[in-house]
Amino acid sequence: MREWTLEERYRILQSEDEIRDLHEKIKKSVYRQTYHVQPVTGLSNDPNGFVYHDGWWHLFYQWCPWGAVHGLKYWYHVISKDLVHWKNVGVGLKPDSFYDNKGAYSGSAISLKNELYFFYTGNHRDDDWTRTAYTCAGKLDDGGRIQKYPEPLFGPREDYSDHQRDPKIVFNKEKNKYFLFIGAQTLLKKGSVLIYESDTLLHGWSFAGQLHVQGFEDFGFMWECPDIVNISGKDVLIFSPQGLKLPGRGANTNHNVYLIGTMDYDTLTFTPDTGYQHLDHGFDFYAAQEAYQTEDPDRAILIAWMGLPDNHYPTGQEEWEGSLTLPRELRIRDGKLIQTPVAAISELRDKKIESETVLPDTCELLLTLDGSDMDLKLFTKEDGRGGVVIHYDSNRKVCSIDRSGMELRFNETLGEILDMPLSNPLTSLRIFIDKSSLEIFANDGEAAFTSHVYPTASEHYYTKSNNAVLEIWSLMASVRDDFVIE
């Protein structure tokens, strides 16, 4: 992997001409996806500012233009009518002020009375590299650009470490107030969430206190990207805890979990009904954000970064990496989130594939199963060797997914086999493949599993056990790869 100097990573983009050739080059990559949002150049990480506003879904991603490196972060803007067909709009937020001189970090959006407001972290660093995190705001102007407010809403608290970021804006009807949930680290290096409150969006913010989550006082050293959403009367707290190993998750120390329970805005206490659950059981899933929308109180829409902090991917050689996951609908059933890809994804189905051996490089697989043991191998060589091996063990009710058989291996030290545990016997799998990604939904959304995967030219075959009835659809492209910067 290439070494980057600080100057190279934190270079300010002066003109689109500086990255035009890079875009042309990466466009030709065989791993460029066709129905996933991915970086126009360089690196994408967290989804930001995900919101439904005035007939459009707006979405941004953390973007470093220069290559597969976490350096100076911008927000890059894409829009869609249906959450499936996305088009590039250009740079949403530039790190061009004192307060965000080393990055416009993650944040969220809210639509209010025909206006669209944004809240994000200005990552400021002094010359001696001391960090100060400012909570900043902006508003979409008539031309579709975000205008930043010149002054931050507030700076960091001194009684926490310098890790304070990723404001999620929430409106609470009962209290008729706005709240910002901010990921933080205590001075004792414990992950936590800071809560600020205000009667109005752009003024009068005050610190309400630290969120109490019973039983989670010592759960990792930092909680990134906190989010809270009410679904069917239940509160769901979503966050990405760092710095802890969790059972069944290999050597990985970056996770994305959720708790279902009740949020009390008077005492700032979240009381979970049960323990934490994983949003996704796969290798590459982090920093999920749920979209602000008021359309349907029984479902939320969620999207995540298909990737992990501290890891890199084979397309890094081509100077780009990362993508977002498919957006998912979240519902609650039997004390857990049921996650299904958004409905409009079915419109991408093109042709039904008749081959019993060849796997198209963008497709949807539908497997109907009988609850007994099952084997499925994807991306094998023609003779059936290698590939990603999916095995269902009916005694344990666990699907295990092993990617160690692929030619291009990456992040091996985290572990290359992970389990997706189920509560019910496995009766269906819905699998999405897009050039360099694999997303698996089991039992109509009971569990999900996301992984990058980089098949070589000879790895395009599949095999399955006889008890699996399989239908394969090739899928049409839905995400445009246009070079739009301004």
Which residue ranges make up the site for ligand FRU (CB under 6 A)?
Answer: 45-46, 62, 73, 105-106, 121, 165-166, 224-225, 287, 309
Which residue number, 122 or 261, has a Cβ lying nearer to ligand FRU? 122
CA distances from 140 to 6, 58, 238 (A): 32, 11, 26
Task: Kindly state the tokens that stand for 331.
Answer: 């519902």
Which residue number, 49 or 445, has a Cβ lying nearer to ligand FRU? 49
As measured in angstroms, the least distance from the Cβ of 120 to ligand FRU is 8
- The CA-based dihedral angle spanning residues 172, 225, 122, 92, taken in that order and rounded to the nearest 10 degrees: -90
266 belongs to the catalytic site: no
As measured in angstroms, the least distance from the Cβ of 462 to ligand FRU is 33
Which residue number, 322 or 445, has a Cβ lying nearer to ligand FRU? 322
Neighbours of 47 (CB within 10 A): 27
Helix (H) or strand (E) holding 401, with range, is: strand 398-405
Annotated catalytic residue, options 17, 21, 46, 159 = 46
Which residue number, 287 or 401, has a Cβ lying nearer to ligand FRU? 287
As measured in angstroms, the least distance from the Cβ of 163 to ligand FRU is 8
* Cα gap 278→447, rounded to integer Å: 9
Q: Which of 112, 106, 113, 96 is nearest to 50 (CA)?
A: 106
As measured in angstroms, the least distance from the Cβ of 220 to ligand FRU is 13
Task: Kindly state the tokens that stand for 133.
Answer: 């995190």
Neighbours of 106 (CB within 10 A): 29
SS3 content of the chain, % helix, strand, coil (to 5): 5, 50, 45
As measured in angstroms, the least distance from the Cβ of 446 to ligand FRU is 27
* Torsion angles phi and psi, residue 482, rounded to 5: -80, 150
As measured in angstroms, the least distance from the Cβ of 419 to ligand FRU is 24
Largest CA distance in the chain: 66
* Cα gap 45→43, rounded to integer Å: 7
C-beta of residue 23 within 8 angstroms of C-beta of residue 86: no
As measured in angstroms, the least distance from the Cβ of 173 to ligand FRU is 28
* Cα gap 331→9, rounded to integer Å: 40
As measured in angstroms, the least distance from the Cβ of 46 to ligand FRU is 5
Three-state secondary-structure class, residue 101: coil
Which residue number, 107 or 445, has a Cβ lying nearer to ligand FRU? 107
Task: Kindly state the tokens that stand for 240.
Answer: 């990405």
Which residue number, 199 or 310, has a Cβ lying nearer to ligand FRU? 310
* Cα gap 331→271, rounded to integer Å: 19
* Cα gap 148→395, rounded to integer Å: 56
- Between CA 350 and CA 361, with CA 356 as vertex, the angle to 5 degrees is 45
Which residue number, 239 or 441, has a Cβ lying nearer to ligand FRU? 239
Which residue number, 90 or 309, has a Cβ lying nearer to ligand FRU? 309
Which residue number, 40 or 367, has a Cβ lying nearer to ligand FRU? 40
* Cα gap 328→142, rounded to integer Å: 30
Residue 142 CB burial class (10 angstroms; 0-12, 13-18, ≥19): exposed
* Cα gap 104→277, rounded to integer Å: 30
User: Mind giving me the DSSP string for 145-197?
Assistant: -EEEPSS-SB---TTEEEEEEEEEEEEETTTTEEEEEEEEEETTS-EEEEEEE
- Between CA 374 and CA 382, with CA 378 as vertex, the angle to 5 degrees is 115
Give the side-chain half-sphere CA count within 13 A for 213: 28
Which residues are annotated as catalytic? 46
